[in-house]
Structure 1
Amino acid sequence: IYGDPGGGTDPGPSDACEVTYRVTNAWGDGFQADVRLTNTGTAAWDGWSLAWSFPDGRRIAHLWNGTHTQSGTSVTVRNADWNRAVAPGASVAFGFTASGPSAEATPSVFALGGRECTVK
């Protein structure tokens, strides 16, 4: 997995990424969001790890199509076994529910293996 010692091959400079983040539902103390991660580079990924930070107080409660860890405001989502390989031009998608207001929950920076992705 990118960014993890001993995990997959670290993407090179030609292995770019694009992220689309969309809040799809919101309620008083929580929200649901969908994330699409696209390989805009020239090499296939064999595992991926996407990281971002939330404003204080946002916590992921449930995530599907991947696994996540969260420490304070820092979130990392890793591939599931079945969506590990991502060819150039292909995308993977995952979603989650979280606590906290959605209006201020949209992260502005996402990183794949420590390299910043384009946010769409």
Structure 2
Amino acid sequence: MFPYALTFLGLDGTGPTPTPTPTPTPSGGPGACRVSVTVSAWNTGLTENIAITNTGSSPINGWSLAFTLPDGQTITSGWNATYGLTSGQVTAKNVSYNSAIAPNASVSIGFQATHTGNTGEPTSFTLNDAACAIA
């Protein structure tokens, strides 16, 4: 009877393995975003319009979009976001009037930049540290 009790109570190492508690995901869930980009370039300048879409089922309240500008591009001004750093790894953060993105809704931001011949667009984006699909 004693060996059965040990097995039943899991004290002999053969009992059930506890189920780990799931870790909550950030608002909007991982990868719950899509970004589309339109670049209009001329001589040594360009504008870039970015649409951020919440593809998740929860609203996003407060957002930060991170991306890397191609070499030779430097932001000179922007709209609908505040921009940290103007070249290299850039972070665009919401402003007061566009901090929430409802499910299936989009926010449009953009910037004007100078370039030294490279008019490409960023190749990846993360929204609140979650990778976004690119449309």
Shorter chain as normaliser: what TM range? 0.7 to 0.9
Normalising by structure 1, report the TM-score. 0.83
Question: Are 1:21 and 2:64 an aligned pair?
Answer: no
Structure 1 runs of 4+ with >2 Å offset: 9-15, 101-105
2:67 alignment partner AA: W
Per the TM alignment, residue 10 of structure 1 is displaced from its structure 2 partner at its CA by 3.3
Paired position in structure 1 for 2:120: 105
Unaligned runs of 5+ in 2: 1-24
* DSSP 3-state at the match of 1:88: coil
Paired position in structure 2 for 1:95: 110
1:116 alignment partner AA: A
Q: Residue deviations 1:46-80, cap 9 Å, x none?
A: 11100100122211111011110116411110111
- TM alignment of 1:28-107, pairs within 5 A: 28-70=43-85, 72-101=87-116, 104-107=119-122
Higher relative CO (Cα under 8 Å, sequence separation at least 6) belongs to 1
* DSSP 3-state at the match of 1:55: coil
Unaligned runs of 5+ in 1: 1-8
Answer yes or no: is the 8 Å Cα contact 1:15–1:42 preserved in 2: no
Per the TM alignment, residue 103 of structure 1 is displaced from its structure 2 partner at its CA by 5.0
Q: Distance in 1 between matches of 2:51 and 2:92?
A: 12
Q: Distance in 2 between matches of 1:44 and 1:102?
A: 39
Structure number having the greater helix percentage: 2
Structure number having the greater strand percentage: 1
Q: How many residues align?
A: 111
RMSD in angstroms over aligned alpha carbons? 2.0
Identical counterparts, % of pairs: 38
Paired position in structure 2 for 1:116: 131
